[in-house]
Amino acid sequence: MRIKLSVLWLFWIFGFLVHMFLTLFEKGVIEQIIAGEFVGIQITSGAMLFFAIFMLVPLVMAPVSLILKDKANRWANVVVGIVYTGLCVFDSIGTAIFDISALSAYAILMYISHIVASALIVWYAWKWPTQKA
C-alpha cells in the first residue's frame, strides 16, 4: 500500500510538470510569461510561493507515504488527496468556465489523469487494511 501511494504521488507531480511544460508550447504563453503573467495569473512572489508549495506537497507526500506509521499515513493521504482532488476539479472547471480555449485535448487528458491519480490516492488510503492485534 505504501508503495502504491508513493508512486501515485510521484505520478501526480510528474503529470503536473508535464502539463506545465506542454502549456509552454501554446501560442502566446512565452510572451505572457515575459510580460509577467501565466495563464491569467500575475507572476508575483506570492504566486510563486503558492506554486512552490503546491508542487512541493506531492513531492513530500511520496516519501511520507513510505515513512509514516499506518494510521497517520492513511489519514495524511486521505486529507491531502482530497485537497488535491478538489483543487484539480476546481482548476479544470474554472478553466472550462473562464477560458474554454485552454481546454485542448492534451489539457483534458492531463486534468483527467490528475483527478484520477489523486482520487486513487484517497481510495487506496481509505481502504488501507487495518492490522489485527
Of the pLDDT bands very low, low, confident and very high (cuts 50, 70, 90), residue 131 is low
SS3 assignment, position 99: coil
Q: Which residues of 1-35 are buried (b: 16+ CB within 10 A; e: fewer)?
A: ebeebbebbbbbbebbeebeeebeeeeeeeeeeee
Stated pTM of the model: 0.85
Residues 6-15 have pLDDT tens digits of 999 999 999 9
Query: What pLDDT was estimated at residue 23?
Result: 85
Residues 70-120 have pLDDT tens digits of 889 999 999 999 999 999 898 888 877 777 776 788 888 998 999 999 999
